[in-house]
Amino acid sequence: MDYNQISFQLAAVTRHAGQFIRQEAATFNRSHIELKGVHDLVSYVDKETEKLLVAGLREVLPEAGFITEEGTEGADRAEEYNWVIDPLDGTTNFVHGLPVYCVSVGLVKGNELVAGVVYEVVRDECFRAAKGAGAFCNELPIHVSDVPDLNNSLIATGFPYTKFELMNDYLQVLGSFMRRSHGVRRIGSAAADLAYVAAGRFEGFFEFNLNSYDVAAGILLVREAGGRVTEFLQDGDPLSGRQVVASNGLVHQEMQDTIREFWHEQE
């Protein structure tokens, strides 16, 4: 199967979905917000975007199933290939009118990532990758940065909105990164964070309590751009492990060592 060609088609589907999000952003009313859980927002835009994606992706690869965030009816898993979909990563940003939110879709064969796209809606940046074919932004090749150490790095993270029992560990890790780097940024979309690592804008990214649809496409982007992605303390599967450390590869060990000083839970 030609995964590079599939990633081209996937990019077109995600761009179409992004156009819908952009259109709705102009007139969005906060009264349309629902809560899936504590501080976990969802809107009709998330749900309708997912439906658009499911319909479009069925045409790209009819035999593939779906792993979705919003549970679109009829979007069931398949045995071999599955699309892993986050229709609007950064919903809270979208709701508040902050300009970083993405469509994120990865394709897995079993547990192996083979294609992925992160489309950053406001900047109109389409990050695309396919297994063995490299990574691109708006069809220009991208690569992770060549910064060799944490001291000269810019790091991204995500703030937890659940599992507050881990807050003390997290804040100590955050403080350590703040002292040892050029700074830490929290832009509110894990998909964008990973895409920006792939593009060399961040040297590293770490976050816990993530879902597969938050990170599937971004993990492949980083790897195809020459970077490394693991769990916090070990080299386990970040797609299912709910912890992600992504980097340019050169600062990865320093990042894991920094986390290891204070992090006590292996999820």
Binding residues: 69, 86, 88-89, 214
Binding residues for Mg(2+): 69, 86, 88-89, 214
Write the secondary structure of 43-105 as one string of H (helix), E (strand) and C (coil): CHHHHHHHHHHHHHHHHHCCCCEEEECCCCCCCCCCCCEEEEEEEEECHHHHHHCCCCCEEEE
Among 73, 65, 77, 105, smallest CA distance to 89 is for 105
* CB contact at 8 A, 103 and 50: no
Among 211, 243, 213, 209, smallest CA distance to 229 is for 243
H/E stretch holding 222: helix 212-224
Other CB atoms within 10 Å distance of the CB of residue 166: 17
DSSP at 106? E
Strand segments, DSSP code E, in the chain are: 34-37, 40-42, 65-68, 81-89, 102-109, 112-120, 125-130, 134-137, 140-141, 154-157, 183-185, 204-208, 228-230, 243-247
